Structure 1
Amino acid sequence: MTALSLKKVNKSFGSVHVLKDIDIEVEEGEFVVFVGPSGCGKSTLLRVIAGLEDASSGEIHIGDDLVNLTPPSKRGIAMVFQSYALYPHLNVRGNMTLALKQEKQPKEVIDERVEEASRMLDLAPYLDRFPSELSGGQRQRVAIGRAIVRQPKLFLFDEPLSNLDAALRMNTRLEIAHLHEQLGASIIYVTHDQTEAMTLADKIVVLRDGRVEQIGSPMELYNNPANQFVAGFLGSPAMNFLPASLLNEGDDRTMGVRPEDLFLDDDGVIAARVNHVEKLGGDTNVIAKVSDFQITARLFGQQAVEPGQKLRLGFNPQRVYHFNREGARMD
């Protein structure tokens, strides 16, 4: 069953065309991540799905229902915001039960749902605390718990980890993945962080300038990017791009090779001069100049490479991508 269907959805603010002919299908129980750079329209698209913004044209279906004219409270969605949006005067229990009380749900239903959500998110010890008494990670779990108790048709997450430090982001990311497994719920998740997209998604929607560039599983997009933008956006460190003419005179294509597909090779065809070395323990990132272009090589383990050093790099030709002048994939 289809949980969400967007058909030729457009959104304009005055003369500014923000979303352009968006077509997306989300299946029941699927975890779909909208990813793209700042300003690509991903948060606007989420707000259009939620009903917080009206679509200028196109159709939005949640389940079997056309919801273009349906108010947000009637769409069967629950939204988790970047800013948590908790009520400071209510304790954790109060924040989690407010929407259910407004829906006039029976007390036993409210208690049962809060107990279940608290168990899933390890919030039982904090139910009587106020938001000011919680850490950032605990506040985000409360915001997620408030969404869970509503038992929506569709969960919408708008950059929920942006306000957390690196360690909490990883922990909360794992919690969200585990939560999805437990609930089997349909989730739309917006982020600019390609690591979140790669680790959480069943399906990724890559957006640029209000358009869908490519849709597919994380490994589909990583291994078979449709164009240079998608190739450069997914992967860390990012894919290297060089004029193919550096290796093949007269070749007007752009060559793309991922940092992890480069290796030290005394007979390698790429001559480089090291600018900077990131020694990470398990990996060594070598940032180097090739002619007037910068590339990054991700080398396994600890490597005896230093700034200023000249070296040669090899690569597997089967792991090289080529793009035309417009950025479209050619092979």
Structure 2
Amino acid sequence: MGALELKAVGKSFGKTEVIRGVDLTVEDGEFCVFVGPSGCGKSTLLRIIAGLEDASAGDILLDGQRINDVAPAKRELAMVFQSYALYPHLTVRDNMGLALKQAGVAKAEIAAATDKAADMLALGPLMDRRPAELSGGQRQRVAIGRAIVRRPKLFLFDEPLSNLDAALRVATRIEIARLHRELAATMIYVTHDQVEAMTLADKIVVLRAGRVEQVGAPMQLYNDPDNVFVAGFIGSPQMNFLKAAALGEQGETLGIRPEHLEVSRKAGRFAAQISHVEKLGGETLVYARSETHGLLTTRLFGEHDFAVDETVHLTPLAERGFRFDAEGQRMR
């Protein structure tokens, strides 16, 4: 079991309030991702759950038991850090089994647990190496393996892929998703990368300035954002925000995803001048500036030959748009 509940959790450093009354339930076996811009409080909230920071207010419950005053080592959690945090003088095998050794677990049980984790992570040939002899991706797999052997109720990941190159980020992301399915474990994962959030999460928690803006499944947040902040944060490229009145639409702002903004050389709702074109093979991103709406992004599938400084005509698919009021809240 690994169900987590946060009740009105707050955190202040002196007079500075960084976590503001967070209420959240993470179900047993769920993969929950915290996302938000730098400084939004996502890593601080994770550290509060882990016991590395004390909550200034509220309660933290694991499987119904309040753990605010429980020491980090006794919370039945395992944390994977961005920095790997491996002991350089120990082998992979010893790094993975150290926590069990310190807990007085029998050698045979430690060996069985580390071998099983090594099989899951394809670390078998590396077990007698030291961290200096490993690549970044291999070190991160060792850190994940060290968490697995502890058999925690809850896995905590603090931006574990940030130090990896693009290809390794994708490969390791796939491994983490596979491990979640195989272990059926509860996982909480912090990232600033909304692509990681969208591809890994059962549930995404969007944070801003220490508050929860919205909680939901990835496509729920993509297709049904509550406000301008969530609409703009979830999705890559970012949603376009147009002046609703200039288009004869209700509200203050009309939000349009790049794939729902049509571009034509012949005709459209308004003119714009192309500022930049990104040809990615499978898709083309066209950035065009309108006098009324500013810089806008349109996503086209396949290859297209638009050129910088070319004048084009843009048409938002209003039926696929999101309307927001003057306070940035969704109009439904």
TM-score (structure 1 length as normaliser): 0.98
- Whole-angstrom distance in 2 between the partners of 1:98 and 1:139: 15
Which residue is 2:285 aligned to? 285
Does the aligned pair in 2 maintain the 1:262–1:299 contact within 8 Å? no
Give the Cα–Cα distance (whole angstroms) in 2 for the partners of residues 115 and 45 of structure 1: 33
2:140 counterpart residue number: 140
The aligned counterpart of 2:303 is 302
Change in 2 beyond 3 A, CA 1:2/1:182: closer
SS of residue paired to 1:222: helix
Higher mean C-alpha deviation, range 202-211 or range 99-108: 99-108
| Ranges of 4+ aligned residues in structure 1 off by more than 3 Å | none
Residue identity opposite 2:260 in structure 1? D
Letter in 2 for 1:264: V
Which amino acid is the alignment partner of residue 37 of structure 2?
Answer: P
Question: Identical aligned pairs, as a percentage?
Answer: 61
Q: Distance in 1 between matches of 2:77 and 2:2?
A: 15
Matches within 5 A, 1:246-325: 246-248=246-248, 253-265=252-264, 266-292=266-292, 293-325=294-326
1:2 & 1:231 partners in 2: Cα distance? 31
Q: Does structure 2 retain, via aligned residues, the 8 Å contact 1:93–1:127?
A: yes
> Helix, strand or coil: the match of 2:3?
strand
Give the C-alpha shift of residue 65 in structure 1.
1.3
Alignment of 1:1-331 (within 5 A): 3-248=3-248, 253-265=252-264, 266-292=266-292, 293-331=294-332
CA distance in 2, matches of 1:38, 1:315: 31
Q: How many angstroms apart in 1 are the aligned matches of 2:7 and 2:190? A: 19
- Following superposition, the deviation at residue 270 of structure 1 comes to 2.8
Judge conservation of contact 2:242–2:254 (CA < 8 Å) in 1: yes
Deviation at 1:252, TM superposition (A): 5.3
How many angstroms apart in 2 are the aligned matches of 1:84 and 1:131?
Answer: 10
Aligned to 1:177, the other structure's residue is in SS state helix
Cα deviation, residue 244, structure 1: 1.1
Q: CA deviation at 1:324?
A: 1.0
Give the stretch that moved more between structures: 258-267 or 95-104.
258-267
Structure 1's unaligned 5+ residue stretches are: none
Per-residue CA deviations over 1:187-206 (Å, capped at 9, x if unaligned) read 00000000000000000000
**For the residues of structure 2 that align with 1:2 and 1:214, how far apart are their CA atoms?**
22
The letter of the residue matching 1:49 is I
Q: Which amino acid aligns with 2:311?
A: K
Checking the alignment, whether the CA contact within 8 Å between 2:204 and 2:218 is kept in structure 1 is yes
Residue 107 of structure 1: CA displacement? Answer: 1.5
Deviations 1:122-173 (A, max 9, x none): 0010000000000000000000000000000000000000000100000000
Q: Distance in 1 between matches of 2:202 and 2:50?
A: 21
What are the superposed Cα offsets for residues 78-131 of structure 1, whole Å, 9 maximum, x if unpaired?
000000000001010110011000111111211111011000000010000000
For residues 252 and 226 of structure 1, do their structure 2 counterparts lie closer, same or farther at Cα, with a shift above 3 Å needed? closer
- Structure 1 CA distance for aligned equivalents of residues 270 and 187 of structure 2: 44
Whole-Å Cα distance in 2 between the matches of residues 74 and 318 of structure 1?
53
One-letter code of the match for 1:329?
Answer: R
Is 1:32–1:189's contact at 8 Å kept on the other side of the alignment?
A: yes
Change beyond 3 A, Cα 1:252–1:27: closer
Task: Count the aligned residue pairs.
Answer: 330
Q: TM-score normalized by structure 2?
A: 0.97
1:245 deviates by 2.2
Q: Deviations over 1:49-79 (max 9, x none)?
A: 0000000010000112100000000100000
Determine the C-alpha separation between the residues in 2 that align with 1:262 and 1:326. Answer: 24
CA deviation profile, 1:212-260 (whole Å, cap 9, x unmatched): 00000000000000000000001010000111122228x6511110101
Q: Work out whether residues 2 and 25 of structure 1, in 8 Å CA contact, stay in contact via their aligned partners in 2.
A: no
The letter for the 2-side match of 1:258 is: R
Give the conservation status (yes or no) of the 8 Å contact 2:50–2:77. Answer: yes
Whole-angstrom distance in 1 between the partners of 2:246 and 2:46: 43
Counterpart AA for 2:197: A
